[in-house]
């Protein structure tokens, strides 16, 4: 029998096993071939409905999921906060239940509250994919990061991955810590003291305030977006100082291995997390990350639906 995901939903990598992560990454490699073929279309999800329910602004994640749906021949429909009845004060459960009973198979959900998809998933028939919840997780982003690293480094086990930046507001860092550590990589997080959440001490990662230290002999150097729009108060004195102490420049890069790859979840604040010269560096795989994002999302949609078909 074909391998199958353990859970009905993909809520986070904290609750996803190593075997399931491997299954998704292997399937994503196959999806990559479809994307690289002249006709990027399969009938795997024909007649299935996917609703993309994004209550926070998004370009790349929403578009990536939408295109993934189309490459699999699924029906996809968008619901965003603007133009919907959410402003009428409709509660989340009612809205999601409404979507669910319209014969929806897969529900991709982005919400500004941590844990929102976890609350919703057990209450609906559709399989829920977390497209980012507050400051908690963004599992498909970490999966595409892992896919990209694996492509370049052959495996994840034994690698050293340095992640630098605003760890406080970043759901990307949390998903990557859970996922990468399960796959045997060492994750080092460097953030200013004001941007380092305390719970990171209890997560499988090494914490430092020195970006050079984090990058020492690293195989991967990843910048995190400074979520300027999510900050309620100033968490660093100035952008210039942030860039100086936590930005990834040639000097920081020199601490890492000679063949270390450069990553960023995007969109990058050029000159803050890294200068444009690093963003477009020959060892930068930032555009590949975006490209692999489509393959990873196709894999997740495909595998969750396969599990539904079997039941």
Are 168 and 199 in contact by the 8 Å Cβ rule? The answer is: no
Strands 106-111, 49-54: pairing is: parallel
18 lies in the binding site for its own copies (CB under 8 A) = no
Q: Which residue of 10, 21, 51, 256 would you call a contact of its own copies, by CB under 8 A? A: 51
Backbone angles phi, psi at 81, to 5 degrees: -65, -45
How far apart, in whole angstroms, are the C-alpha atoms of residue 22 and residue 303?
Answer: 12
Q: Which stretch binds its own copies (CB under 8 A): 49-57, 150-158, 160-168, 185-193?
A: 49-57
Q: Which of 97, 257 has the CB closer to its own copies?
A: 97
Query: 244-264 burial, b if ≥16 CB within 10 A, otherwise e?
Result: ebbbbeeebbebbbeebbbbb
What is the side-by-side order of every strand in the sheet holding 106-111? 75-80, 49-54, 106-111, 127-133
How far apart, in whole angstroms, are the C-alpha atoms of residue 186 and residue 188?
Answer: 7
Backbone angles phi, psi at 35, to 5 degrees: -65, -30
236 lies in the binding site for its own copies (CB under 8 A) = no
Q: Which stretch binds its own copies (CB under 8 A): 11-19, 44-52, 164-172, 208-216?
A: 44-52
311 lies in the binding site for its own copies (CB under 8 A) = no
Q: Which residue of 82, 233, 238, 311 would you call a contact of its own copies, by CB under 8 A? A: 82
Two tokens, residue 200: 């990171």
How far apart, in whole angstroms, are the C-alpha atoms of residue 194 and residue 99?
Answer: 39
Q: Which residue of 39, 233, 238, 311 would you call a contact of its own copies, by CB under 8 A? A: 39
Kindly identify the residues of this chain, within the stretch 57-76, that bind its own copies according to CB under 8 A: 57-60, 63-64, 66-67, 70-71, 75
The torsion defined by the Cα of 178, 181, 187 and 191, in degrees rounded to 10, comes to: 20
Side-chain-side CA neighbours of 227 within 13 Å: the count stands at 17
49 lies in the binding site for its own copies (CB under 8 A) = yes
User: Nearest approach, Cβ of 111 to its own copies (angstroms)?
Assistant: 15
Kindly identify the residues of this chain, within the stretch 93-112, that bind its own copies according to CB under 8 A: 94-95, 97-99, 101-104
125 lies in the binding site for its own copies (CB under 8 A) = no
Kindly identify the residues of this chain, within the stretch 180-209, that bind its own copies according to CB under 8 A: none
Angle, helix 139-153 to helix 18-36, in steps of 10 degrees: 70
Q: Which of 35, 206 has the CB closer to its own copies?
A: 35
123 lies in the binding site for its own copies (CB under 8 A) = no
Interface with its own copies by CB under 8 A: which residues?
A: 35, 38-41, 46-49, 51, 54, 57-60, 63-64, 66-67, 70-71, 75, 77, 79-91, 94-95, 97-99, 101-104, 228-229, 266-270, 287-288, 290-291, 293-294, 309
């Amino acid at each position: 029998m074909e391998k199958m995901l353990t859970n009905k939903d993909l809520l986070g990598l904290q609750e996803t096993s190593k075997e399931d992560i491997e299954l998704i990454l292997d399937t994503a490699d196959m999806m990559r071939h479809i994307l690289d073929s002249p006709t990027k279309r399969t009938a795997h999800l024909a007649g299935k409905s996917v609703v993309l329910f994004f209550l926070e602004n998004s370009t790349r994640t929403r578009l990536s999921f939408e295109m993934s749906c189309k490459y699999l021949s699924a029906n996809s429909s968008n619901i965003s906060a603007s133009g919907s009845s959410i402003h009428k004060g409709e509660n989340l459960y009612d809205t999601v239940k409404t979507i669910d009973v319209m014969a929806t198979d897969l529900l991709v959900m982005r919400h500004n509250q941590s844990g929102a998809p976890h609350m919703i998933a057990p209450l609906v028939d559709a399989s829920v994919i977390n497209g980012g919840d507050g400051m908690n997780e963004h599992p498909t982003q970490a999966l595409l990061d892992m896919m990209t690293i694996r492509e370049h480094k052959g495996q994840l086990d034994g690698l050293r991955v340095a992640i630098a930046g605003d760890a406080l507001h970043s759901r990307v860092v949390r998903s990557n810590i859970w996922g990468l550590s399960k796959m045997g990589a060492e994750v080092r997080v460097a953030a200013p003291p004001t941007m380092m959440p305390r719970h990171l001490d209890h997560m499988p990662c090494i914490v430092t305030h020195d970006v050079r230290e984090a990058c020492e002999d690293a195989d991967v150097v990843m910048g995190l977006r400074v979520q300027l729009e999510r900050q309620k108060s100033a968490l660093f004195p100035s952008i210039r100082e942030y860039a100086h102490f936590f930005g990834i420049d040639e000097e920081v890069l020199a601490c890492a291995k000679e063949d270390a790859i450069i990553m960023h979840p995007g969109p990058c604040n050029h000159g803050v997390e890294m200068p444009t010269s690093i963003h477009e560096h020959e060892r930068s795989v930032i555009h590949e990350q975006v490209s692999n994002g489509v393959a990873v999302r196709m894999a997740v949609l495909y595998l969750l639906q396969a599990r539904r078909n079997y039941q």
